[in-house]
Homo-oligomer: A and B are copies of this chain.
Amino acid sequence: MGIHNYFKSLSDLEGINRCPGKFKYQEHSVASHSFKVTKIAQFLGTVEEHHGTQIDWRKLYEKAINHDYPELFTGDIKTPVKYATPELKSLLSQVEEAMTKKFIEEEIPPEFQSIYELRFSEGKDESIEGKILAVADKIDLLYESFGEIQKGNPEPLFPEIYEEALATIVHYQELHCVQYFLESILPEMLEEGVIPYSQINKVSKQILGKKVTIV
The count of identical subunits is: 6
Note all chain B residues with C-beta closer than 8 A to A212. 170, 173, 182
A74:B72 contact, CB within 8 angstroms: no
Query: From A201, which residue of chain B is reached at the shortest CB distance?
Result: B190
B150:A151 contact, CB within 8 angstroms: no
Query: From A215, which residue of chain B is reached at the shortest CB distance?
Result: B182
Chain A 124-159 interface residues, beta-carbon cutoff 8 Å to B:
139, 143, 146-147, 149-156, 158-159
Q: How large is the interface on A (under 10, 10 to 19, 20 to 34, 35 or more residues)?
A: 35 or more
Note all chain B residues with C-beta closer than 8 A to A84. 95, 98-99
A187 to chain B minimum Cβ distance, whole angstroms, is 7
Chain A 41-71 interface residues, beta-carbon cutoff 8 Å to B:
42-43, 46-47, 50, 57-58, 61-62, 65-66
Q: Which of B7, B29, B87 contacts A139 (CB 8 A)?
A: B7
